[in-house]
Structure 1
Amino acid sequence: MVGLQSQHFSSRAIVGIGSFLLTLIALQITRQTSGYPARTPVRLWPRLLITQLRRDINENNTLRYGWAITALCSISVSGLHFGGLYFDIYTAVSWWDILTHSLSGFGVAAVLGLTFQSSIRSTTYWVIPAVFAFGTGFEVYEFLFKTFWYNWTLRFYLLDTVIDLIVNTTGAIAFVVGVHILREVNILPDSADDNPMTAKLSSRRNR
């Protein structure tokens, strides 16, 4: 249960409610964007991720380097975030939050791209609104469960949220641009169609 405080009913609730509405809009845009894996139910995404990771490692193809970079990115984001909280660096170093959010956006986009590899060979644009939805969803989480914004003004809270979302999305755009460059120089390997793997996972689940 969410323990609602008086701050949740102040004018700053605009940020939480607005983030929630933006999440719904971004999810709808994601589903309508070219490349979105509509044939794969969301409930199968974690299993497909693990399956793709195992396959790329076992087949020893170049995508294993992508997974390694993504893992390093995830570790870096965790270190920056929890280190920033523990040592109170977020308030002391202005760019710490920007670096954390940009790497986070890139990392989420990379996980989506490596999980749904068919989109790597066609289009990865759908990961941009997907990462935006992830970012706005995280803002909702912070509004409901965190207290750091309790003493912030509405203006500062809005500005911080907007910057976070812009930086998150910039990280996703950087991933898309990087994939496009790798495609142009033919570094990316041919990726198998995700749909047969999805069908296989679905059949296992229904047994």
Structure 2
Amino acid sequence: MATPPHLSPKLLVGVGALCLTLLATWVTLTTPGYPDQHALRSWPAVLGSRLRRELPRGDRLTAAWVSIGLWAGLVSVLHFGGVLYNVYTAVPWWDLLTHAMGGFGVAAVLAFTFREQTLRSPVWLVSGVVAIGAGFEVYEFVFKTFWYRWSLAFYVEDTVVDLLVNTSGAAAFAAVTELYRRTSGSAATSTPATGSDGVAAASAHDHEIVADGDGDGHDSDSNAD
């Protein structure tokens, strides 16, 4: 009887990705800038509250969120189009492109959801994206079948490259945010560059948020317990 794929030596990839997820999560939790006033389970609610409050404003914050949404849509089109038309096979660097853009976009969502904390120190974005990317590799190991036909060596190489490229995208966004933070001279009241067009919200907008009583990202419906 053939060994089930999940119990073959390829289990090394799944276990390794799980360990990396846990390690990167711990690093993120202890890195300056991490929004520790929000429980992890509340993050979707915080994001939803941000979108409900800021999308209708019609200002540069609205443009920033729209840009992030367009970026996410572009990444989705490139990915699913690549799968549908076998571009991943025909163009070797297509996988690198989509993963780098994905890491950049995820970092942008995290940064704008918790922008006040991120502008104090955007370093946490990098380890945060590593944790999310490694967690996705665990998901693929458990629920997907495309890797069944791969050799162990190729599976390891593909996973490592994916994670490195994801991380490079997040690091690029963190670097842009740090540059903006340094040049703006207003780390607590400004907004980082967006993932797609470098849009930055004016500090006056965040002063308005502070005046509304939620300048640190606190929302009455999404605070951590």
Same fold (TM over 0.5): yes
Shift of 1:202: 4.5
What's the % identity of the aligned pairs? 44
CA contact (8 A) 1:61 1:189 kept: no
Structure 1 alignment gaps of length 5 or more = none
Alignment equivalent of 1:120, drawn from 113, 118, 121? 118
In the alignment of these two chains, the number of paired residues is: 199
- Alpha carbons of 1:202 and 1:57: their partners in 2 closer, same or farther (altered >3 Å)? closer
Measured in 2, the distance between the counterparts of 1:120 and 1:59 equals 22
Matching residue of 2:99: 101
1:43 and 1:89 map into 2 onto residues whose CA distance is: 36
> Are positions 1:27 and 2:40 aligned together?
no
132-141 or 188-197, larger mean C-alpha shift: 188-197
Structure 2: segments with no counterpart, 5+ residues: 185-199
Residues 94-119 of structure 1: per-residue CA shift (max 9 Å, x gap): 01111110111011110000101212
Q: Shift of residue 195 of structure 1?
A: 4.9
Q: Distance in 2 between matches of 1:153 and 1:131?
A: 27
Q: What residue identity is the alignment partner of 2:71?
A: C
Q: Using the TM superposition, give the Cα deviation of residue 74 of structure 1 relative to its aligned residue in structure 2, in angstroms.
A: 0.7
| Counterpart check, 1:194 vs 2:216 | yes
How far has the Cα of 1:185 moved from its partner? Answer: 3.6
CA distance in 2, matches of 1:86, 1:202: 39
- Matched residue, 1:65: 63
- Give TM-score, length-normalised by structure 2: 0.81
> Over the residues paired in the alignment, what is the CA RMSD in angstroms?
2.0
Residue type of the alignment partner of 2:160: V
Residue matched to 2:181? 183
Cα offsets for 1:27-71 (capped at 9, x unmatched)? 111100111111111222112112212333334442323212211
SS at match of 2:107: helix
